[in-house]
């Protein structure tokens, strides 16, 4: 699924002309960003993201994973002069089997909206300095001063439904997995004995 972030700067939009806008959000352990997919998107200039930490174990289950801090650079929206948007593909992690429900809910808080104006035109009264060590453009250039924008989110949080297995199915899954393994191993062994050249 794609996490779609849209920002309309409203009355301060005119003051932010030429500024970079980003969304800083913390992904909970239940979801993650695939760094290989992200590298492909960035190579084609489809998205710009800074991940903290930048090393992600995509195979870790939810109960062994940690939070991921994402700084997602937003692009100007062609249909709206004061609007910015970006999409980030996210994936659900493997969760422990549940007792009753076949899905778990992963809560994603509304992101913090940041602006970076390297000509320092923004007044300190309207914009709160943010502690962000990242360049304005998303490229490997020295970091500049980011400012946190007070905003009213459309949704305080988003909820992602992740399917999980049921605990009462564990015995059936183990038996079927064992039978499939024995059957496939037998077929491979039979083919090797029949067609193998052991001379």
DSSP per residue, 66-83: --EEEEEEEEEPTT-TTE
Number of domains in the chain: 2
Kindly state whether residues 94 and 176 are assigned to the same domain: no
What is the structure's pLDDT at 28?
92
- Look up the domain containing 177 and give its range: 166-198
Kindly state whether residues 7 and 32 are assigned to the same domain: yes
**What predicted TM-score, i.e. pTM, was given to this entire model?**
0.73
Kindly state whether residues 32 and 42 are assigned to the same domain: yes
Kindly state whether residues 131 and 51 are assigned to the same domain: yes
Least confident of 7-11, 121-125, 164-168, 184-188: 121-125
List the one residue out of 25, 147, 182 whose CA is nearest residue 90. 25
Q: pLDDT tens, 42-89? A: 888 878 888 887 788 889 999 999 888 888 888 888 888 778 888 889
Residues 6 or more apart whose CB falls under 8 angstroms from that of 5 comprise: 23, 25, 72, 74, 85, 86, 87, 88, 111
Kindly state whether residues 128 and 39 are assigned to the same domain: yes
Q: What CA–CA distance (Å, rounded) separates 56 from 176?
A: 32
Kindly state whether residues 129 and 143 are assigned to the same domain: yes
């Amino acid at each position: 699924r794609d996490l779609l972030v849209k920002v309309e700067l409203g009355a301060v939009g005119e003051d932010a002309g030429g500024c970079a806008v980003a969304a800083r959000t913390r992904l909970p352990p239940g979801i993650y960003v695939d760094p290989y997919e992200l590298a492909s998107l960035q190579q084609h200039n489809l998205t710009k993201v800074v991940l903290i930490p930048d090393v992600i174990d995509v195979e870790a289950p939810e109960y062994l994973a940690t939070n991921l801090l994402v700084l997602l650079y937003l692009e100007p929206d062609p249909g709206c002069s004061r609007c910015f948007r970006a999409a980030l593909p996210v994936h659900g992690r493997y969760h422990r089997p549940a007792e009753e429900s076949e899905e778990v809910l992963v809560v994603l808080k509304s992101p913090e909206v940041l602006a970076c104006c390297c000509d320092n035109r923004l007044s300190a009264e309207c914009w709160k300095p943010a502690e962000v060590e990242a360049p304005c453009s998303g490229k490997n250039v020295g970091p500049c001063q980011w400012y946190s924008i007070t905003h009213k989110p459309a949704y305080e949080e988003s909820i992602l439904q992740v399917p999980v297995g049921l605990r009462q199915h564990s015995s059936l899954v183990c038996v079927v997995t064992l039978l499939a393994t024995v059957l496939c191993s037998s077929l491979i062994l039979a083919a090797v004995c029949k067609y193998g050249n052991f001379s």
